[in-house]
Structures are given as structure tokens and as C-alpha cells.
Chain A
Amino acid sequence: MSALIFIFGPILLAAIVGWLGRREGHWVRFVALGLFALLFLYSWGLLEAVPAEGYLALGEFLKVPAFGFTLILQVDTLSAIMLMLTATLLILVALSSWTIEKPGPYFALLILFAGPIFGVFMTTNLLWFFIFWELTLVPMFFLVGIWGAERRVYAAVKFFLYTHFASMLILLAFFLIYTQTGVFDMALVKESMLATPALIWWLLFLGFAVKMPIFPFHTWLPDAHVQAPAPISVLLAGVLLKMGAYAMIRMAVLMLPETAREFAWVILTLGLITLFYAGFMALYETHLKKMVAYSSISHMGLVTVAIATVSYGGLSAALFEMIGHALIISPLFLIAGFLHHKTGSWQMEDLGGLMQKAPWISAIFVLAGLAALGLPGTVGFVGELTVLIAAVKSWGLWLIVIALGSMIGAAYIIWTFRRVIYGEMSPAVRKGDFRMNKAEFAALVIFAVLIVWFGLFPSELFDVINQAFGSLAAAGGAA
């Protein structure tokens, strides 16, 4: 029962506080923060409690014998890490939304989001996974559609339709699995023989590829990011994309390892294309937030390349890069949104000389940017190095082309610094008042500290990450 509360509790709570705080509801912020702190402690507890191998059972609910609809809740190290990441980001998102308009409904929706996202990572039943997966879209849709910028409705609908289409493919795959094996449980599917593993794999892969996103299914992301309020961008990049990557690892790789090895070249090719394609997009972009969005896609390309190794080291690198990416891209989004809020412009040429006006915010932007281009001492470098080593090991020497990705990264990041942070002050920056709310600033500082901390001491993360894929250790690398 207890585990169930962390999924459905937030949903109920959201309904209650949403109703009570529908006018202004500043107090809802504290409720949300308290809840997220609780979720954080809970997922920390789970991380400590999971066994080195296999699942920690949290209960089975709704047992209908004739039908595989049992809500099985169980977590392994991988899901516990994802829960931990999600809870951390939720806290930071709540902090950085401290001065949002209409906080009552906004935070109620955030709380509503917390329930299903925890469900996604806690269940191993495919059907329930799908239900939670879809439910996360609902609060997201409203958060983008109501608190977004000028073209928010277009972006929200595009986002919804795009990912919905992907969901159809996933659902189809799940039904195929059920008809062929008679079970809806991931752990059992792995053991049983599928009649058409290739078809199922492709459906799953395409479905999750949209969410990650991988070229050529990425175009919803820049639109959604640009229109979304900055904290929601953090949620999109830090949690929703990670959900896609998690599902990709969990189902397209760990559940169907044989098929995944067979088609690993597809993942690799698309991952590499994503890495460079999005990098070039970012290079050409003059819209600050779009630049960050493309850089985010480019990093997900790196994650995809790491997944394509289908090896112990590669997946560990992928998970590290996922966490690193969440920490890096979030402050960039937050600061981009903050600048737009204060100057009214997204265009980099309207900015400039920010370092003179807001040195601390600029410093955090620079730090996160340097992490994005893979500077040692930050999580970005560890991510790139591990992906490079793992990819070369699995695919051969030509994979050193990954290094070129960090050159493109350096080019667009350094040019962004030049246009936004350094140089002479632009009129918009001169006029602007860049005082930031303390809670919002605290969120940025926490991101900055984590970027450096895990960059200097990656073992802190790898000690748990290595556990997550221990089962692959003996299985060896890709074909």
C-alpha cells in the first residue's frame, strides 16, 4: 500500500490543492515543495534498499487472474536512480518557479505530474507503464499551453500530437507482446519467446525515439521548449526526455537484448546523425532558447550513441550522460528564460555584456555552458569521455568522430558567451533589472554545485550506476 501512495497520493493531492488554491494559492508552493522533498527522501530510501541485482518488490495490486492487468510495483537500481533524478529535478523546478503567475494551479499541475512520473519508473507492468506514460502528458500539456509564450497553443498541440502518435506505436508493441507471450510484465517478457521480435523492437524504438528525441523525430522539441515557461523546459529536458531514454534502455535494450544487438547499427546511425545535426542547428541558431534546445538534442544524440553499444560500460556511460545532461541543460534553460523575462527578447544580438550587469547569473551560465561543451572538471567531460571509450570499444576506431561533436559544441557555446555574456552592454541589458528571486537563484546554485561535484567525483554516481547494469557485465559487448 505504501508504495501506491507515492503515485496516487500526488494525483489526489493535486485535485485538492488545485481546487483550494484556484484563486492565487501562494501556499500551494510550499505544499509542492514539501511533497517533492518527501518524494526525494523516499527515492533515496529506495536507492539504499534495492538489492545489488534484481528488483525490490513494492507490492502487487489489482490482481485480475484472467488478465495481465496487475499493477506490479518493483524497482531496481536503474529505476531508483531515475526516481532520485526526477525528485531532485522536481524540487529544483519548484524552487525556480517561485515567482510564476497563478501559482495555485501551476503547482497543482506540478504535483499532478509527480504521480504518474513516479509510476512510470516504479512499475514493470507494460500496460500500467503505458497508462502512466500517457498521464504525464496531461499536466505537461496544460503547463505549456497556459503558462507558455506567444505560440504556446501551437507548441502544446504539436507536442501532444507528436508524442501521442509515438504512444500509439508503443501501445501496439505492447499488445503484440501480450498476444505472443500472454504476459505484460517486462521481466517475464525477457524470458519468453517472441514470434516477431523485430517488429516489436522497431515499434518500441520508434516510439521512444520520438520522446528522446532522435533525428528525424525531434522537431517537436524546440517548439515545445521555446514556448514552455523556463522551469517546464527543465522538466521536459530533465524528466520527460529521460523517461524516453529510460524506456529505450529498459525495453528496447534490456528487455530485447538480442534484437537490440541486431539493430544496434540503427541506434548508432541515428544517434550520430542526431549528435551532429542538432549541433549544426545550434550553431546556426540566433534564438537563445532554441540554441539551448538544439544543444540538448545533440547531447541526447550522445546518449543514443552510448545506448547503441548495448554493453555494460556503454549503458553506464549513457545513464551518466543522462544525469549530466539534466544538470547541465537545466540552468541554461532557466537563465535563457530569465533573460527573456527581463529583456523581452530571445535574440542573442539584443543581449550582450550581461557579465557586467549580473555577474553571478552569468558565471553560472558560463559554467553550465562549459559543461555542455565537455570541459574537464564538469559532468559534461566525464559523459563525453566515457561515451567515447565505450563506443570505440564496441564499434571500432572510426567512432572517434564523436570528438568532432565536442568541437561543434565548443563553437556554438563560446559564440553564445560572446554574444550574450561578454562584450559591450546592449541597450536591453542596460535597461534591464536582473535581480533574481532568492529561491530561483538557489536552484541555479544547486545545479552549478552538482555539475562540478559530479564532474570532479564521478565515482559518487558511478558507484550506483555500475550496479544498475551489472547483469550485462558477463554478457559482453555488441556484435
Chain B
Amino acid sequence: MNTLTTFLLLAPFLGAVAAYLLGRRRTQWAFWTAEIVGATLFVATLLIFFGYERPIDIPMQWFRFGDFAVPFGLYIDKLSLVMLLIATGLGFLDIHFAHDYMAEDPHQPRYYAKVLFFIGGMILLVSAKELVPLFVGWEFMGLASYLLISFWHQKKDPADAGVSAFLFTRFGDIFLFAAIGALYYVAGSLDMVQLNAMAASGALDKDFIFVVSVFIFVAAIGKSGQFPLFPWLMRAMEGPTTVSALIHGATMVNSGIYIVARLFDFYAAADALIVVASVGALSAFIGATSALVQREMKKVLAYSTMSHLSIAFVGLGAGSLAAGMTHLVNHAVFKALLFLSAGAVMLAAHHVKDLWRLGGLGRKLTGLALVMGMGVLSLAGIPPFSGFHSKDAVIAQALNNPQTAGILALMVLVAGLLSMAYGGRLWALIFAGEPRDKELYREVKPVSFLWILLPLAIMAVATLLMGFFQESIAEAVSGMGLTIPHVPGLLPFMLVTIAILAWLVWFYYVKRLDLTEKIAAQPLMQVIHKVLFNGYFIEYLILWFSKNFVVQSLARSVNWSDRKLVDGAVNGTVPFSRKVSALLGRTTTRLSGENAGAMALGLLLLLAALMAGGAA
């Protein structure tokens, strides 16, 4: 087991180096290295999974400084294993998919190296025993996402998107960093299992736990794209679509939820879960409503990621580890499927992302329409797809828990239902109706079966089959079954609403698209549209604040004080010292060369004296 674990942790990083170096020799080799490494990672995870008896616990120490020791232990239990399966399994399919998607890019060695590094970061994060190795993996992923989002760094938009991704997530990260410092001092331990136990037994001060929990949650907000640190998630769509699938499905955004799940007892001990639930419900609502009006298909998916992660957060916040984590697992699979399907559409249709230029592609890309349709059904929560069970469970839990029962449950219910609307709209605008851009439609070319459709089909089947194994998934991630509290009338209500929404989508986006445009042209609708389209202007507010307050006011006044006050005081003495030096200047004006000569002579004399003294 330990050998496998070591392999799992080292292979992606060594593989990244190998992929780059081999790829420099021949571009094709980069892909094959990544493919082989990705496959072996998945196999290794499966081997650990099937041979699992008890948690793998490897205590290690990174280094000692002074009288402190910094630990770097590994701990893999069922929860970690499920996350590992997602990261390596979806990661492998993602690499496989990239064979065609990135085929024309000249920088493939760089691409595959970064992707493997990314997966390695996630593996490290979920296998960490203490917060330090977790933070290392956490930051590795931050770096990898930065580098991959601005993969096409020569263009302005991807370069800007990378900046936004790094800084938004970094803002969260420093809170985790601070929490590490605080926990080391107060709790004396960074071991997450131990922290849970300490919090549950009441060994730590409750207020302290609450503050630390909120700090860690801020980091989770950053990584998982929750309110208000979500704008980077939408900007990140500038990267290659395979990268979006990796970030949104397999790795990065899951880490925020994972850390809350990992420290679940810690959160529960100080009633910090209500914070998680509140932020989650608000983000779910913002994400779902904004997804309704996006023009770019990747942005629809990005907002839907935000919304569904929030649903998972609400599940945790409502006190059900099983519901929240099961939804995360389900989401990872269908979101990777949806993103890669979108990538396949782009590949077929000359990288057009604009939904108004697509349409009617179902006739040419039937297979693709089918698998993406399955993804949408799971997203929308149609039984028996996996998305249905977990979403239903979260909403029921939220309604059932008195702390979240009111407005929070309502928001998450709306968000859950709206996923039918935006998911259906997305699918309908791509595949149904008449082609809106005739020229583009003529040029649409079929996609390869082996490289494109096969991985998609695997995920589509998975999202369907997982619907029948929800109990086992819940058991694995939380140790408990997926108990859905019975809320009278909820299930019929949801099914009926979903049906109505499906009909509305069909009517407005397939049958009478002209009517939709007319409605959207109303002044009131335009205002609403603008607010939703821009994600409630949160990004503008944050940028405005950092630009005007942090840079223009704070940094600028520091700069002013440095020039005028601190340095000014020094330069203020110049007139005085000029006078002094003018006085002295009469006697000491000499050439510097002469001075240097005199100094050298003096040194020689000194040395002679020293030798004499040393000999004595």
C-alpha cells in the first residue's frame, strides 16, 4: 500500500518533467507520456481502492526549525479515495480527450506537463494528513490553474484571466495560511483527524474554532468559486476547454468542499456550518440565475458549476456530510462530461462558443447530442440520473434542518430547479432548432469516435449508473447512508416544476426563439438581463474597490509619504550638509584616485603591522 501511495504522489510530478522533456524531442511523445502516466495513476488508485482495509496513515516530518517541527504526513481514507478516483479517473479521460482537442497546438509538451502537475497537486491535497501538505497541494493547484488558464499567454484575455484566477484564489489562500499559524499555536497540531477529535471533545475554545473555521471557509470560497470570490471561475473560460473540465470537474473546485468535509466535525463543533450554508445558498442562487442568460456555452457551464458546488456546500451546511459530498461526486462526473462535450462542439464547429451562432447541430452530431443530453439530464436532476438523488437529498436536508429551513432552503430550491432551465436551454440552443449560422453549420465536421466520443460516452454511462449506487457513494464519503428525510410533497412538486420548465425551454428556445428575443428587448428585461449577465456586477465591485481603495488610495498615499516625508526628511538635510562640505571642502578636495592610493598604502602598513604582531 505504501509503495502505491508513494507512486501516486511522485508519479505525476516526475511524469510532468518526463512529458515536457520527451515532448521537446517529439511533440507526440508528450501526449503519450501523459496518457500512460494518467492511466497508471488511475489503475494505482483502483488498486488501493479495492485493497482498502483501513486508512493508510504515513506520518512524516518535513523539517525542523528551532524547536518546531513541520509535519508532512499522508492519510488516505475512503473520502480521500473517492476524491482520488475522481481526480485520476476524470483526469485520465481529460488527457485522452486532449489528444484531439490540443492536436494543433505547438506547445503540447508544456500543456501536458502542467496538466500532470495539476493532477499531482490534487492528489497531494486529498492525501494530506496535516494542513501543511494540504496547503502545498492547494497552492500547487493554484499555480497550475494560473498557468493553464493563461496557457495562450500571448493573448490579452487569457493573460488577464490568469491574473484574476491567481489573485482571487490567493486572497482565500492567505486565510488558510493564517489558520495554519493559529492552529499550530493554539491546538499544537495540524493533523486534521486529530483536529476533528479535539473540536468534538471540547478541548478547544468554541469561539476560536468558529473563527478558524470561517478562515478556512474563506479559502474554500476562493477555490470553489463561491460568493463573492467567484468571478475568476468565469474568466477561467479563456483557457483550453480541457482545462476547464479539469478545473471544474476533476480537481480544483472540489478542493474547497473537500476541506470542509474533511474538517466536518471541526465545523460542526462551533456551529460554523450555518456560515457555510448561507454563503452556499446565496451563491447557488446567483450562479443559477446568471447561468440563465449567458451567451457563451462555457460561461453557462461555469455559472452552473458555481451553483452546483453551492448546492454541495448547502448540503454540508445543513449538517449532512453524505448529501453534500455525494452531490460533489455526482457533479464532478457530469460537469466534466458537459465541459468536454462543449469542447467537442467547439472542435466540430470551428471553436465557436457563441450560442446564437450554433443551433441545429443535433442532426450532424447525433452521438454528441446524445451524450451531452445525458449530462444535462443529470445536471437538471431527472431520475434515474445521479444528479437527481443528491440534489433531492440536499434540498430535503435544507428544508428539514430548522437552521436552514427558511430563505436559505428556498434559494437552494430555486437554484436546483433552475438547473433544468439553463441546462435545457444550453442543449436546445446547441443541438435543437434550425441552424442560425448557415455557413458555420455547413462546415461542421464530425468528431472522432476513439478520442472524443468514447471518453464522453464513458462519463455519460457513469453518470447514469452512479444513480443506482448512491448509497455506496454516500457510505464511502461519509460512513453513512444517503438518508433523505421525507418532506411531504417535495418530490412531486420538483418533478412537476421540472417538467414545466422543460416545456418552457422547449417553447421559448426551440419553437419560438423570435418571441424570446422580443421579450428580452423589453426595458425591464434588459436591466435584469444586464445584472444577471454580469454576475450581479460583483467582479466590477471588487475590482473597483481594489483599484480605487487599495492601489489608488492606500498604495498611493504610501508612495506619497515615502517621497515627501521619509525621503524628504533625508533630502531636507542636503542644504545643510552642502554648507558643511563647502567648509570642509577647502581642505579635503582631492582626486578619488589619490584617496584610493593612500588607502591602499595604509592597508599595506596595517598588514605589515599585523604580521609582526601575529609573529610575536
Q: Which residues of A pack against B, CB within 8 Å?
A: 1, 4, 8, 11-12, 15, 59-64, 71, 138, 142, 158, 161-162, 215-216, 218-220, 277, 280-281, 283-285, 311-317, 320, 353, 355-356, 370, 373, 375-377, 381-382, 384-386, 388-393, 397, 399-404, 406-407, 410-411, 414-415, 417-418, 421-425, 457-459, 462, 465-466, 469, 472-473
**Which of B140-190 touch A at CB < 8 Å?**
140, 143, 146, 150, 153-156, 159-160, 162-163, 166-167, 170-171, 174-175, 177-182, 184-186
> B139 and A375: CB pair below 8 A?
yes
> B174 and A281: CB pair below 8 A?
no
> A280 and B64: CB pair below 8 A?
no
Contacts of A425 in B (CB 8 A): 154
> B174 and A406: CB pair below 8 A?
yes
Max count, chain B CB within 10 A of own CB: residue among A285, A400, A404: A400
Give bound CA distance, A424 to B279, whole Å: 38
Give bound CA distance, A404 to B175, whole Å: 8
A242 to chain B, nearest CB (A): 18
- Interface flags for B591-611 (1: CB within 8 Å of A; 0: not) read 010001001100110010110
Contacts of B600 in A (CB 8 A): 15
Contacts of A353 in B (CB 8 A): 154
> B66 and A377: CB pair below 8 A?
no
Given known contacts A314-B66, A353-B154, is B614 in contact with A410 (CB within 8 Å)? no
> A377 and B607: CB pair below 8 A?
no
> A356 and B154: CB pair below 8 A?
yes
> A393 and B185: CB pair below 8 A?
yes
B469 to chain A, nearest CB (A): 36
Between A and B, 18 residue pairs with Cβ closer than 8 Å are: A1-B614, A277-B562, A280-B559, A284-B556, A373-B170, A385-B177, A386-B68, A388-B180, A389-B181, A390-B65, A391-B181, A392-B181, A392-B182, A397-B182, A403-B178, A410-B167, A422-B159, A466-B65
Max count, chain A CB within 10 A of own CB: residue among B70, B140, B171, B181: B181
B68's nearest neighbour on chain A, judged by CB, is A313
- Interface flags for B121-148 (1: CB within 8 Å of A; 0: not) read 0000000000010011001100100100
The 6 tightest CB contacts between A and B, nearest first, are A313-B66, A62-B613, A400-B178, A284-B555, A312-B66, A376-B136
Contact residue among A375, A392, A423, A462 (Cβ-Cβ distance under 8 Å from B154): A423
A184 to chain B, nearest CB (A): 15
Contact residue among A4, A277, A315, A462 (Cβ-Cβ distance under 8 Å from B64): A462
A161 to chain B, nearest CB (A): 8
Is B554 an interface residue when CB atoms closer than 8 A count as contact?
A: yes
B294 to chain A, nearest CB (A): 26
> A280 and B163: CB pair below 8 A?
no
Given known contacts A283-B551, A422-B150, is B160 in contact with A403 (CB within 8 Å)? no
- Interface flags for B500-522 (1: CB within 8 Å of A; 0: not) read 00000000000000000000000
Main secondary structure of the interface of B (DSSP, over half): helix
Is B566 an interface residue when CB atoms closer than 8 A count as contact?
A: yes
Give bound CA distance, A311 to B567, whole Å: 33
Contacts of B140 in A (CB 8 A): 376-377
Contact residue among A138, A393, A424, A465 (Cβ-Cβ distance under 8 Å from B155): A424
Contact residue among A61, A216, A418 (Cβ-Cβ distance under 8 Å from B159): A418
Contacts of B153 in A (CB 8 A): 355, 421-423
> A4 and B610: CB pair below 8 A?
yes
> B159 and A313: CB pair below 8 A?
no
> B174 and A415: CB pair below 8 A?
no
Given known contacts A284-B555, A422-B162, A423-B159, is B566 in contact with A390 (CB within 8 Å)? no
Instruction: Tally the A-B contacts, defined by beta carbons under 8 Å.
Output: 189
Contacts of A370 in B (CB 8 A): 143
> A392 and B184: CB pair below 8 A?
yes
Is B62 an interface residue when CB atoms closer than 8 A count as contact?
A: yes
Is B67 an interface residue when CB atoms closer than 8 A count as contact?
A: yes
> A382 and B63: CB pair below 8 A?
yes
Is B558 an interface residue when CB atoms closer than 8 A count as contact?
A: yes
Contacts of A423 in B (CB 8 A): 153-156, 159
B567's nearest neighbour on chain A, judged by CB, is A219
Contacts of B566 in A (CB 8 A): 215-216, 218-219
Give bound CA distance, A386 to B414, whole Å: 46
Contacts of B567 in A (CB 8 A): 219
- Interface flags for B8-48 (1: CB within 8 Å of A; 0: not) read 00000000000000000000000000000000000000000
Give bound CA distance, A392 to B140, whole Å: 25
Contacts of A418 in B (CB 8 A): 159-160, 162-163
A11's nearest neighbour on chain B, judged by CB, is B603
- Interface flags for B343-357 (1: CB within 8 Å of A; 0: not) read 000000000000000
Main secondary structure of the interface of A (DSSP, over half): helix
> B558 and A280: CB pair below 8 A?
yes
Contacts of A283 in B (CB 8 A): 550-551, 555
Contact residue among B132, B167, B180 (Cβ-Cβ distance under 8 Å from A411): B167
Q: Which residues of B pack against A, CB within 8 Å?
A: 62-68, 70, 132, 135-136, 139-140, 143, 146, 150, 153-156, 159-160, 162-163, 166-167, 170-171, 174-175, 177-182, 184-186, 550-551, 554-556, 558-559, 562, 566-567, 570, 577, 592, 596, 599-600, 603-604, 607, 609-610, 613-614, 616
> A62 and B614: CB pair below 8 A?
yes
B110 to chain A, nearest CB (A): 9
> B135 and A219: CB pair below 8 A?
no
> B614 and A280: CB pair below 8 A?
no
Contact residue among A1, A158, A376 (Cβ-Cβ distance under 8 Å from B135): A376
Contact residue among A62, A215, A393 (Cβ-Cβ distance under 8 Å from B610): A62
A18 to chain B, nearest CB (A): 9
Give bound CA distance, A464 to B140, whole Å: 28
Max count, chain A CB within 10 A of own CB: residue among B67, B600, B610: B67
Contacts of B180 in A (CB 8 A): 385, 388
> A284 and B177: CB pair below 8 A?
no
A256 to chain B, nearest CB (A): 20
Give bound CA distance, A61 to B612, whole Å: 9
Give bound CA distance, A312 to B592, whole Å: 46
Given known contacts A280-B554, A400-B182, A414-B167, is B66 in contact with A466 (CB within 8 Å)? yes
Contacts of B166 in A (CB 8 A): 410, 414
Given known contacts A59-B614, A410-B166, A424-B155, is B63 in contact with A280 (CB within 8 Å)? no
B255 to chain A, nearest CB (A): 14
Given known contacts A11-B603, A370-B143, A418-B163, is B610 in contact with A386 (CB within 8 Å)? no
A118 to chain B, nearest CB (A): 15
A380 to chain B, nearest CB (A): 11
Given known contacts A284-B551, A377-B136, A458-B62, is B184 in contact with A64 (CB within 8 Å)? no
Give bound CA distance, A353 to B65, whole Å: 40
A61's nearest neighbour on chain B, judged by CB, is B614
> A469 and B136: CB pair below 8 A?
no
Contacts of A277 in B (CB 8 A): 558, 562
Contacts of B603 in A (CB 8 A): 8, 11
Contacts of A399 in B (CB 8 A): 181
A162 to chain B, nearest CB (A): 7
Contact residue among A4, A407, A458 (Cβ-Cβ distance under 8 Å from B171): A407
Contacts of A142 in B (CB 8 A): 592
A8 to chain B, nearest CB (A): 5
B352 to chain A, nearest CB (A): 23
A24 to chain B, nearest CB (A): 19
